[in-house]
Amino acid sequence: MTQPAGFDFDEFVTRTLAEDLGEGGDVTSAATIPATARFTAEMNCRQPIIVAGITIAEAFFRALDPQVSIETLIEDGQRVVAGTVIMRITGQARAMLTAERSALNTVQHLSGIATLTGHYVDAIAGTGAKLLDTRKTIPGLRALEKYAARMGGAVNHRMRLDDGVLIKDNHVGVAGDVAEAVRRARAADTGLQVQVEVDRLSQIEPAIAAGAERLLLDNMAPTVLREAVAMVSGRVPLEASGGVNLDTIRAIAETGVDFISVGRITQSAPAVDIGLDYRHDPVLG
């Protein structure tokens, strides 16, 4: 896994392990397992998934046992069936048990995002529309969650507030109307594309006339989206958003919009079922 830009990989691993270890460390493992015990385990998925976060899972085990042996069998972005072994690990028993939950929590969460994203991508296959993620992410985990969405086939959209101008309804409300909000954004000369949210067809022409370079069509039914696509006629890219789910996304994609943004792929993705199973008897040194 390539470290996402602006994300401190080592700090995340250290902080996550510290959260789990507390002040006293893994008292159960220390009390029940000899310090010299070693064993081998397999990380496997128990349902069909798209894998994401394997390298960061490795990092948890390596942080507590630098000499651990890890055989990675699956790469991020791969689709696997239930029962697939993702990696094999051989190392210090105490260290492996201590790192297990942090590693699994991370790979389960990120693979959950990738898997749900993949379902949405599959649902719009062949339409020409691209799936976008949003900024609806867990605070502090955006870079990882957007990485997982990318592994599932989505296109990352706006990592931060400073990498794109997106005028939403509240900006419009303060500015007075869509055209005025767009004019102010263009006058600011940020060098960034100016996108504006519109929630009714009557806002489209004023927005484009004022210089909008992309439109976000918010909470419009497919019939209205088709009208919007016809009105714009390719002058600017169109993104549909709002209330999109697996039951509705295909019809939205077939209206001819260029992009569909879905907050729930990061906001509401359930963790997938991945376990760590010990395959060999412990070897005591």
**What is the C-alpha to C-alpha distance for residues 123 and 253, in angstroms, rounded to an integer?**
9
- Catalytic (active-site) positions: 101, 136, 168, 197, 218
**What is the C-alpha to C-alpha distance for residues 141 and 137, in angstroms, rounded to an integer?**
7
Tell me phi and psi for residue 4, to 5 degrees. -60, 145
Q: Give me 156's structure tokens.
A: 């990352």
Pairing of strands 165-167, 38-45: unpaired
What count of other Cβ atoms lies within 10 Å of the Cβ of residue 181?
25
* First-to-final CA distance of the chain: 34
Nearest alpha carbon to residue 133 among 153, 147, 148, 154: 154
Tokens 């990989």 belong to 9
Whether the CB-CB separation of 215 and 239 falls below 8 Å is answered with yes
